Structure 1
Amino acid sequence: MTIDSLYNKMDKSNYYIGRVSQVYRDNSIVQVENLSVLSHRKLLDESLIPNTINYLVVIDSVRGIFLGEVFQNKVVSSEKLHDSINFGKTESIYPELNIDIIGIMTKDDKKFKLPEFMTVGVSEKVYFANKEVIQRYLQSVETTKTSEVQLKSFATYLDMNNVEVNLKPSTLFDHHLFVVGATNSGKSTSALSILDKVIGAKKKVLIIDPTGEYRDAFSEQEIKKLNLGIDTIISPGKLTMQQWSVLFETNGNTQSAVLAEAINSLRYQNKNGKACCLEKVGKNIAQLQKDLASIKNHDNDFDVSLLPEQIAAEAVSEPNRGSEYIYDSFKANANSYLVQKVSYQLRNTNFLKFFKYDPKLNNLLNEIQSFIHTPDVSLYINSSGLGASEGVGGMIIDLICNYLISQDDIHPFVFFIDEVHRYTKSQYSEEEFHRGLVLIAREGRKKGIFLFLTSQNPQDVSPVLLGQMGTLLIHRLTHDDEIRTIKNHLDEYSVKQVKKLNRGEAILTSVNLIKNIYLNVKKCNRKQYNDTPVL
């Protein structure tokens, strides 16, 4: 590709600005031919306004055609400048443009690519970008090299005369997508608009909806719908011992083993139709061990409400002489914290509403297993019954994440969690955040699990999780601490614009884009229950 082929409708001399006069590692300076070059003009059907910033230029170099963006436009203030302006001698004034090099197109390329360590040279000619150049740039925005079909447009460019934005699914999701913004900034509307295009493209989606605002957004033909705690529960018998340990966030010492013994005892009781805990004090050791060994693989269900009492009943030991269990006060003291933790979960949350055995209701883990192994099927889970502040919500999401990562032969899907800040904080563990989402963020891409998260505050998710997010759609944020959290994902100019975004406007930053892009997200026609009541 040569520069003359980009300016085939009108000679490139009409777009000439000047020459590169200084080159630095982070930017370059262009010496403009004279002040009159920066005056507004019309060429064919193009309108050029070069006396401002944030427009594109191209540099004709021996290495290829460089693409740059003007971020500073200045004229050195002096007495000579004022005299020249007063007497109309604009040809003696030489403005300077600071440009950031964002791409290069060599003679063998048809699109711009990242310049890496290459940059422009002194004295090379600079031209305004015409429509052909801008079109090439828009085609080059994505750095992903997959051959997949682009999604339908969910937004328009703010700074490109409302040109439609069309991106590949991998551009948005292959390094996970995080949508963040203050209340009423358009965050949920953007999420639904993207989901609309993903489901419309027949991609698999697993949706966790904590508020129920998406419950009528999709038809039964498009997606299977479950309501956690109403028509869907988590059967205790479907969880492994490791999953119970994750659920109650046991420590790395003896709590996991004690919890496993208590669950095994309750399974024995349930097998024999007894609705009480198994008392071990005074029982024959050999006979009780033989009875517990009779539990088969299918004897999995038990009464979760008896768990604290059973953990307390596990405080027994074998005497040096004798054949019966005796009470062990040392073990009782060691197990007391686990008893308190499990008791609090069962008595002060909706835990028992979701963890119970009922063959008439859907089992959540069975439904998820069917979903991940079935192509072209999406699943919606209404989790609004979990409550906004209860830790049981985070526990269930953590359970789902650990279950997903343990599966093989998964059909790739997008894992969407709205208002993820409800599920990230750990209230009962020694650690501040649940670990399941971090595990998905780190290892999920290898198995075809791509996160799509939304939150009002980036500080409410683990810094490790945020660090794994390769793509961010940032709506308006106003608090300095929140902006500071995402500062590493933005350039200096974008950081200053975050507070100025209107509702529905956003900055899309990604490792899969040649540069940050500014969007105006289009609201889709699907039903969404997120309207703010009027006083």
Structure 2
Amino acid sequence: MSQDLFNIHEDQFIGFVNKVDSYSVNISTTDEEQLRRVNVNGYVIMHTSDPNTRLIGRIERVVRLEYEPSNYSEEMDEEDNNTTNNDITVNALGTLKGPGGGREIAKFTRAVENLPEIGAKCYLLLGEYLTLFTGLVAEETAKSNTPLTLGTYTMASEARAILDGNAFFQRHAMIVGSTGSGKSWTVAKIIEQVAGLKNSNMIVFDLHGEYEPLSAHPHIKRYRIAGPADLDNPKSDVLFLPYWLLGYEDMLALILDRSDENAPNQAMAFSNAVIKAKRDALIQENMKKELETFTIDSPVPYSLDDVVNDITELNEEKVQGSRGLVNGPFNGKFNRFLPRLASKRSDRRHGFLFSLKEDQLSVNYLDYLVDSLMKANTEDSKGVKIIDFSEVPSDILPIVLSLVARLVFQVQQWSDSSSRQPIAIVCDEAHLYLPNRLAADAAEARALAHFERIAKEGRKYGVSLLIISQRPSELNTTVMSQCNNVVALRLSNQSDKSAVSNLLPENLGGIQDQLPTLGVGEAIVVGDSCLLPSRIKIQEPEYQPNSGSVKFWDEWSNAKYEQNLSLAVKNLRRQSSASSEE
């Protein structure tokens, strides 16, 4: 059936090729009626020197030019004197190859192998021909029985927009769009499709609790990072992220003031004390193999009290001098460090790190945490894990998120490659913790180091990133550069549009001009997972996130309920999100 694309009816003919360069083609036509059917961002098909090959292009610009003849004659009528030659600029998108050469059916590829010759015919892809072409692209993309689909093509609403799920996650992806453009719906649509796969494995960083409704899906589990109200009696869905999981540099970024003149001494003493505490813990657990090979970054539970006691001894140490006891070499060097560490430990907002019970200080807690976060979908476990970070203080959010990401990467790195299960990390509101390096503080810089490594090396170990942001201009450029798939919803800010256009191939740069014109829930999809750069209407997810825009005017006009401010104040004081007064 796709063979019809090689025999398009002449009523779709629009003109002849009159200019060709490396990736664009110019078409000239004098048919005014046909010109009215030409739309910017529409698709055309052009003949090439190979009769079994066609070039597919996207219309970028349409210009109507009038030329006056060089030799004017009074005997020529006005219609002959004023000829119109319309110019259509087309960007080359890919090649359509007909059956033959080992192909049973026509095949579309993004490679531009043959450009048309001067004078080659050009036809519009409209109606049934456009449906045929998008169907061909969908068949070529859908390599599995459960393809990834976001919705339908805006230009052909009856054709499903199918993405290559392998390429989408192998080479990282990014979803961007202004607030209210439909990002959360798009993310929810992807998450629920992943959850439906037999061996799905995905972690969703939920910073505002908006993806809670998705936990109603039979294969999605929701966890919460422990808040101040969870420290004494945590429920089964509450997770602690113990301080002993933090790497050495991450821990220092959390507790060390680099502006302190004694910071180098403090860092050295802390390092020595942690190594000693971990060694003592391994000896106590009789873990001889681990004792031989452990490092300061090994995830070994240790007593922070022992570390504080060792550093306190150094801070108060007296040594024998020629005239009696004198201050030791580190005496007083930790007068600011120790109170700072004590303040962090006593802060209930940081309780998920420091207010640990016996279970979280045991060696087996790491096994429990890894199983909770990384076990693929089975009869006993759910493949998609949504982690609610809404109660994590914003100042340490980058460190905490990178802790989870680093743990996932390291477990994958040390897994047997023959049985390694791929896993995706969905980074919602990524601009909050993956900023440009020039704008990053110490905590953010440490977080960036882990995410940048995953972006550059994660593919080898089966770790994928799905970056979600409403401000792509504020995102880290290294992470963005590794995202070879872009789902761009409406963007109106010029710097955001420029950031997205920098990720696009040169011949697709004009797509950025469409971003402000997109409707709610409409996206442009470009990348390795999508053979054809497409404008797609996102399908409504079955499980909708709590991200709907508040209708201010309607609420002010006809409020159906009264806000319980008393409950809100109590929740604020208690640092808990109870839904009823107790």
**TM-score normalized by the length of structure 2:** 0.72
1:261 counterpart (248, 251, 272):
272
Amino acid at match of 2:369: E
- What does residue 234 of structure 1 align with? 241
C-alpha deviation, 1:526, in angstroms: 0.9
Matched, 1:494 2:491: no
> What amino acid sits opposite 1:404 in the alignment?
V
Which residue among 129, 152, 157 is the counterpart of 1:156?
152
Give the Cα separation in 1 of the matches to 2:449 and 2:49: 51
The corresponding residue for 2:570 is none
- Against the structure 1 CA distance between its residues 422 and 112, is the aligned structure 2 distance closer, same or farther, given a 3 Å change threshold? same
Shift of 1:145: 7.5
Q: Kindly provide the amino acid, as one letter, of the partner of residue 474 in structure 2.
A: D
- One of 510, 513, 517 as aligned partner of 2:530: 513
Over 3 Å counting, the alpha-carbon distance change for 1:401 and 1:76 in structure 2 is: same
Per the TM alignment, residue 342 of structure 1 is displaced from its structure 2 partner at its CA by 4.1
1:448 is the counterpart of 2:469: no
Q: What's the counterpart of residue 424 of structure 2? A: 414
- Aligned partner of 2:189 among 170, 174, 193: 193
Per the alignment, do residues 105 and 381 of structure 1 end up closer, same or farther by CA in structure 2, a change over 3 Å counting? same
Q: List aligned pairs for 1:340-379, cutoff 5 A.
A: 342=341, 345-346=344-345, 350-359=349-358, 363=365, 366-369=368-371, 371-372=373-374, 374=376, 376=378, 377-379=383-385
CA shift for structure 1 position 511: 3.3
Alignment of 1:385 onto 2:381: no
1:103 maps to what in 2? Answer: 94
Distance in 2, Cα, partners of 1:527 & 1:123: 52
Aligned to 2:558: none
Shift of 1:465: 1.1
Deviation at 1:506, TM superposition (A): 1.7
Look up the equivalent residue of 1:168 and give its one-letter code. Answer: D
Compared CA separation, residues 214 and 359, structure 1 to 2 (3 A) = farther
| CA displacement 1:232-287 (0-9 Å, x = unmatched) | 21244566767746766899976654323333566799x8xxxxxxxxxxxxxxxx
How far 1:488 moved relative to its partner? 0.9
Pairs within 5 Å for 1:520-531:
520-531=537-548
Report the equivalent of 2:65.
76
CA 1:343–1:465 in 2, change beyond 3 Å: closer, same or farther?
farther
Distance 1:370 1:240 in 2: 21
Counterpart residue identity of residue 539, structure 2 = K
Deviations 1:351-370 (A, max 9, x none): 23333332567957732345
User: SS where residue 404 of structure 1 aligns?
Assistant: helix
Q: Does 359-368 or 372-381 show the bigger shift?
A: 359-368
Q: How far, CA to CA, are the matches of 1:189 and 1:65 in structure 2?
A: 37
Whole-Å Cα distance in 2 between the matches of residues 36 and 89 of structure 1? Answer: 18
Deviations 1:277-306 (A, max 9, x none): xxxxxxxxxxxxxxx987855996555478
C-alpha displacement at 1:69, in angstroms? 2.2
Mapped contact 1:316–1:326 kept (Cα < 8 A): no
1:60 to 44, 47, 64: 47
Provide the rounded CA distance (Å) in 2 between the counterparts of 1:244 and 1:138: 52
Q: CA deviation at 1:18?
A: 2.7
**Which of 21, 24, 27 is the equivalent residue of 1:24?**
21
Q: Distance in 1 between matches of 2:183 and 2:31?
A: 45
Change beyond 3 A, Cα 1:34–1:144? closer
CA distance in 2, matches of 1:223, 1:360: 25
Equivalent-residue separation in structure 2 for 1:470 and 1:249 (angstroms): 37
Which whole-Å deviations, capped at 9, do the CAs of 1:368-398 have from their partners, x for residues lacking one?
Answer: 34543545433222221113x222x211111
Cα distance change on mapping 1:343 and 1:457 into 2, 3 Å: farther
List gaps (5 residues or longer) in structure 1. Answer: 40-48, 272-291
| 3-state SS in 1 of match to 2:175 | strand
Q: Shift in Å at residue 451 of structure 1?
A: 0.9
User: Once the two structures are superposed, what CA deviation does each residue of 1:180-202 show, in whole Å capped at 9, x if it has no partner?
Assistant: 12221211121111111121233
SS at match of 1:350: helix
Indicate if the aligned counterparts of 1:143 and 1:514 stay in contact, CA closer than 8 A: no
Partner of 1:169: 165
2:151–2:536 contact (8 Å) kept in structure 1: yes
Task: Work out the CA distance in 2 between the residues paired with 1:143 and 1:245.
Answer: 52
Partner of 2:580: none
For 1:214 and 1:36, how far apart are their aligned partners in 2? 50
Summarize the Cα distance change of 1:462–1:89 in structure 2 as closer, same or farther, 3 Å threshold: same
Deviates more, 1:28-37 or 1:175-184: 28-37
Distance 1:330 1:516, change over 3 A: same
Q: 1:267 to 1:68 in 2, by over 3 A?
A: closer
- 1:430, 1:236 → 2: CA distance? 17
* 1:76 alignment partner, SS class: strand
1:175–1:471 CA contact under 8 A, matched in 2: yes
Structure 2 residue corresponding to 1:477, chosen from 483, 491, 512: 491
Q: Deviations over 1:115-146 (max 9, x none)?
A: 33531111222222355643454256579989
2: CA distance, partners of 1:459 / 1:312: 45
| Count of aligned residue pairs for this structure pair | 494
- Using a 3 Å threshold, how does the CA distance of structure 1 residues 120 and 200 change in structure 2: closer, same or farther? same
Q: Distance in 1 between matches of 2:371 and 2:174?
A: 25
Secondary structure of the structure 2 residue equivalent to 1:134: helix
Offset, 1:87: 7.2
Q: Do 2:174 and 2:467's aligned partners in 1 also have CA atoms closer than 8 Å?
A: yes
> Which amino acid in 2 is paired with 1:204?
N
One of 377, 396, 402 as aligned partner of 1:398? 402
Using the TM superposition, give the Cα deviation of residue 176 of structure 1 relative to its aligned residue in structure 2, in angstroms: 0.9
Work out whether 1:182 is the aligned partner of 2:178.
Answer: yes
Distance 1:531 1:13, change over 3 A: closer
After superposition, the Cα gap between the structure-2 partners of 1:23 and 1:424, relative to the gap in structure 1 and judged at 3 Å, is closer
Go from structure 1 to structure 2 and tell me whether the alpha carbon gap of 1:240 and 1:446 turns closer, same or farther (over 3 Å shift).
same
Deviations 1:333-354 (A, max 9, x none): 4x66765764564466722333
**Structure 2 residues without counterparts, runs of 5 or longer:** 231-237, 292-299, 553-582
TM-score, scaled relative to structure 1: 0.78
1:223 corresponds to which of 220, 224, 238? 220
Question: In 2, are the aligned partners of 1:307 and 1:342 still within 8 Å (CA)?
Answer: no
Task: Name the amino acid aligned to 1:328.
Answer: G
Does structure 1 conserve the Cα–Cα contact (< 8 Å) formed by 2:315 and 2:335?
A: no
Q: Following the alignment from structure 1 to structure 2, what is the Cα–Cα distance between the partners of residues 78 and 240?
A: 71
Please say which of residues 245-254 and 115-124 is displaced more in the overlay.
245-254
Contact 1:433 1:461 in 2 (8 A): no
**2:81, 2:114 → 1: CA distance?**
34
